[in-house]
Amino acid sequence: MRKITIIALSLLFATTLFAQKKTKTPLYKDSKQPIEKRVNDLISRMTLEEKVLQLNQLTLGRNDNANNMADPVNDIPAGIGSLIYFSSNPDLRNQVQKKAMEHSRLGIPILFGYDVIHGYRTMYPISLAQACSWNPKLVEEACSVAAQEARMSGVDWTFSPMIDVARDARWGRVSEGYGEDPYTNSVFCVASVKGYQGDDLSNPKKIAACLKHYIGYGASEAGRDYVYTEISRQTLWDTYMPPYQAGVEAGVATLMSSFNDINGTPGTANQYILREILKERWQHDGFVVSDWGAIQQLRSQGVAADKKEAAFKAFTAGVEMDMMNDCYNKHLAELVEEGKVPQALVDDAVKRILRLKFRLGLFETPYTPASTEKERFLLPQSLQIAEQLAEESIVMLKNEGSTLPLTNISKIAVVGPMAKSNWHLLGSWRAQGKSDDAVTLFAGLENEFKNKVQLSYAQGCNFDGEDRSGFESVLTLAKGADAVIVCLGEKAQWSGENASRSTLSLPQIQEDLVAELKKAGKPIILLLSSGRPLELVRLEKQSDAMLQIWQPGIAGGNPIAGILSGRINPSGKLSITFPYSTGQIPIYYNHRQSARPHQGKYQDIPSTPLYEFGHGLSYTTFEYSDITLSADKINRGDKLIAEVTVKNTGDMDGAETVHWFVRDPVSTISRPIKELKFFDKLMIRKGETKVFRFEIDPIRDLGFVDGEGKRFLESGEYWVMVKDKKVSLTIN
Ligand code: NOJ
């Protein structure tokens, strides 16, 4: 009898426990439920304080970002929404995540973000250089590697890509975007979003992306950082919006609001772009994070009296996450209690953040599995992509008398401040990149020419300053060589955030070094590393060949030396105009026509750039046919095929990029003299011919948007252009 009672009691206890467990396992923890249901369930359980905490981002680990410093946060609340993660392995993340999972009331995982801009540990060329490859597939692969390295190290979310169209290269951040053209930025934006995110964010090798800086940051006055921008609605929609629209359509998870003041309303308090366009018109269901300190900076911009007003303006405009402002944290709950901010708006904001956490699978897999550095970094395939991307992004600007490739040469003098630096080759935003991973230009040359050519080296001068004491010895070195390779450029810290320059020239000392070397009478080859286009008008005259190598990342000297030896045929083309002089700024290919095209020129310099958008030489020659069209008169709904045949007429295999431009010569509103609408890069073996094809969708490719983003297609004549070839067609 006693036995039976015990069994009965145990059964009752077990059933009660089971029933309790059943009712107590909240729906949001059930991975089988649809994400929206889980989000709604979770939010229904949250207090206002818990919600507000989700809308804040602090930092974790040693901050390596000199422009955005803050004291380490010691007491991170378990319920915090997000952290910028400065550590390079998952341990610290996992510790803090454990606190969130086990000590916060609802066990909401933290979202860890970081600036993974052109690689995490395997550093790729800077984005401006990547665009010169005209190879979005390769850029997608590079971003995919960055995602894998980052996620396996404890990062769920990158603040990348930067897709700010930039036409003033004095602005240091021109290095971080894909150049001056809206279409180019759109294509590489989509490639990088796909590379980072893939099609399933819960994949342990993918991360969420963030389009930045929304919007118009690249229009900074006089190339200064963080300043006012004057952007008409027409220019906003013609120039700055297209990459963002493309990124949103590609499914980007988040966006970052911009620092700049846009016509009187800073990006971080801008209802029109954040709420009206992004959330209402484009129906983006992710969230917007402020840039670092951008909410509290609304005070210095003169649109908020204090942090509370700043919180109110940014939040109601549509910035959901506060990155290091201490504004939402301190004032949002109070604003809700005072009835100034509707509870529903807070719920909407929190839902957007939770949605991403669910999509990333953080509720199921909050911790990053342990792995060795060897398992996650610098994998052979990653290095191969780094090498190929660097190779394809190098632009041969000049090659007088076929100076390059260097054949029949036995002695090369290697000179200049960039020759033995690996640090500067990585550029700004190097995440966990290490300069020791990067192959210097000199080491690359050694690898390439080993046992074949005798290399000698002398630095000659520093990057800047007045010390010319090394000039004499470099001249002697040059006299004894068959060719002189001069490695010049910008220090890494001369571009990137908060790194504007008043001129695109290299410091005088570097120009003087070349003038000195010229006295040796030997071929001069310049290797130019920079984070922006340079003013090369004087250096161009002193040199026989010039390679724009940008900041090539860890592959550094290897692909460059491969081009110099002729092992690699250069295929990069400029994604940004190189002005004749700094005084031409802003200069970009897709400008409007002047009222008097034959007049209005500069009196003192040419009015054309030194190297135009799309310029880039090859060791082979390509012959273009005329453009053919499948029809020269079509109805607005019809599609049209344009083709051009390109023959490799030289004696080396080579890749060629064909840029397809269009123009609407007469329109209701003036249109640019040409606009890039498509590009394609194909390898063409010597003697071979390839057909390049552009499928024209008239509304998309020939139409235009007005100042509200509404698209029109007018009847009449249009031009399709490739290089110096042009055909016209008519839309009925
Ligand atoms: C400020 C920069 O403007 C932004 O691009 C970056 O992502 C954040 N700081 C976070 O480091």
CB of residue 292 inside a 6 A radius of ligand 1: yes
| pLDDT score for 66 | 76
CB of residue 497 inside a 6 A radius of ligand 1: yes
Q: Where are the domains of the chain?
A: 381-584, 622-731
Among the atoms of ligand 1, which is closest to the Cα of residue 176? 5
| pLDDT score for 567 | 98
Q: Ligand 1 pocket test: which of 65, 171, 215 has the largest number of ligand atoms within 8 Å of its C-beta?
A: 65
Question: First and final CA of the chain: distance in angstroms?
Answer: 96
CB of residue 516 inside a 6 A radius of ligand 1: no
Give yes or no for residue 398 having a pLDDT over 50: yes
Among the atoms of ligand 1, which is closest to the Cα of residue 213? 5
Per-residue model confidence as pLDDT tens digits over 628-661: 999 999 999 999 999 999 999 999 999 999 999 9
Among the atoms of ligand 1, which is closest to the Cα of residue 212? 5
CA of 470 to the centre of ligand 1 (A): 39
Cα four-point dihedral sign 66, 70, 71, 73: negative
| pLDDT score for 65 | 76
Q: Whose Cα sits closest to atom 4 in ligand 1?
A: 291
Q: Ligand 1 pocket test: which of 57, 62, 163, 212 has the largest number of ligand atoms within 8 Å of its C-beta?
A: 212
Give yes or no for residue 38 having a pLDDT over 70: yes
Give yes or no for residue 19 having a pLDDT over 70: no
Q: Whose Cα sits closest to atom 3 in ligand 1?
A: 291
Give the percent of the chain with pLDDT over 70.
96
Q: Whose Cα sits closest to atom 11 in ligand 1?
A: 115
**Is residue 226 helix, strand or coil?**
coil
CB of residue 159 inside a 6 A radius of ligand 1: yes
| pLDDT score for 485 | 98
CA of 366 to the centre of ligand 1 (A): 25
For 415, the enclosing helix (H) or strand (E) is strand 411-415
| pLDDT score for 23 | 56
Nearest to 624 by CA among 641, 657, 647, 652: 647
CA of 347 to the centre of ligand 1 (A): 26
CA of 231 to the centre of ligand 1 (A): 22
CB of residue 173 inside a 6 A radius of ligand 1: no
The residues near 590 (Cβ < 8 Å, ≥ 6 apart) are 180, 181, 672, 673, 674, 675, 676
CB of residue 65 inside a 6 A radius of ligand 1: yes
Give yes or no for residue 494 having a pLDDT over 70: yes
Give yes or no for residue 9 having a pLDDT over 50: no
Per-residue model confidence as pLDDT tens digits over 507-542: 999 999 999 999 999 999 999 999 999 999 999 999
Per-residue model confidence as pLDDT tens digits over 458-488: 999 999 999 999 999 999 999 999 999 999 9
Question: What is the overall mean pLDDT for the chain?
Answer: 96
| pLDDT score for 72 | 61
Q: Whose Cα sits closest to atom 9 in ligand 1?
A: 292
Structure tokens at 200: 């399933």
Among the atoms of ligand 1, which is closest to the Cα of residue 162? 5
CA of 290 to the centre of ligand 1 (A): 9
Give yes or no for residue 10 having a pLDDT over 70: no
Q: Per mean pLDDT, which range of 13-17, 147-151, 400-404, 575-579 is the poorest?
A: 13-17
Give yes or no for residue 7 having a pLDDT over 60: no
CA of 532 to the centre of ligand 1 (A): 19
Give yes or no for residue 152 having a pLDDT over 60: yes
Cis-peptide, bond into residue 213, ω within 30° of zero: yes
CA of 684 to the centre of ligand 1 (A): 41
Among the atoms of ligand 1, which is closest to the Cα of residue 217? 3
- Mean pLDDT, residues 100-114: 97
Give yes or no for residue 599 having a pLDDT over 70: yes
137 CB neighbour count, 10 Å cutoff:
12
How sure is the predictor about 360, in pLDDT bands with cuts at 50, 70 and 90? Answer: very high
For 381-584, which CATH superfamily applies? Glycoside hydrolase family 3 C-terminal domain (3.40.50.1700)
Give yes or no for residue 5 having a pLDDT over 60: no
Q: Whose Cα sits closest to atom 10 in ligand 1?
A: 292
Structure tokens at 147: 């995602």
Question: Any idea what DSSP says for residue 436?
Answer: G
Q: Ligand 1 pocket test: which of 227, 292, 297 has the largest number of ligand atoms within 8 Å of its C-beta?
A: 292
How sure is the predictor about 24, in pLDDT bands with cuts at 50, 70 and 90? Answer: confident
Give yes or no for residue 1 having a pLDDT over 60: no
CA of 427 to the centre of ligand 1 (A): 15
Q: Whose Cα sits closest to atom 1 in ligand 1?
A: 292
Place of tokens 């690996």: 422
| pLDDT score for 11 | 45
- Mean pLDDT, residues 37-59: 98
CA dihedral 280, 165, 430, 437 (to 10 degrees): 130
Give yes or no for residue 22 having a pLDDT over 60: no
- DSSP-assigned beta bridge partners for residue 262: 229, 265
CB of residue 226 inside a 6 A radius of ligand 1: no
Q: What's the CATH code, domain 622-731?
A: 2.60.40.10
| pLDDT score for 73 | 64
Q: Ligand 1 pocket test: which of 118, 226, 291 has the largest number of ligand atoms within 8 Å of its C-beta?
A: 291
Pairing of strands 454-458, 524-529: unpaired
Per-residue model confidence as pLDDT tens digits over 210-223: 999 999 999 999 99
| pLDDT score for 668 | 96
| pLDDT score for 556 | 96
Q: HSE (CB half, 13 Å, CA atoms) of 445?
A: 23
For 414, the enclosing helix (H) or strand (E) is strand 411-415
Catalytic-residue membership of 291: yes
Comparing 381-584 with 622-731, is the CATH topology the same?
Answer: no
CB of residue 217 inside a 6 A radius of ligand 1: no
The secondary structure of 646-706, three-state, reads: EEECCCCCEEEEEEEEEECCCCCCCCECCEEEEEEEEEECCCCEEEEEEEECHHHHHCEEC
CB of residue 291 inside a 6 A radius of ligand 1: yes
| pLDDT score for 62 | 82
CA of 291 to the centre of ligand 1 (A): 6
| pLDDT score for 460 | 98
User: Which one of 164, 225, 291, 437 is the catalytic residue?
Assistant: 291
CA of 101 to the centre of ligand 1 (A): 28
Q: Ligand 1 pocket test: which of 57, 84, 86, 115 has the largest number of ligand atoms within 8 Å of its C-beta?
A: 115
CA of 292 to the centre of ligand 1 (A): 6
CB of residue 689 inside a 6 A radius of ligand 1: no
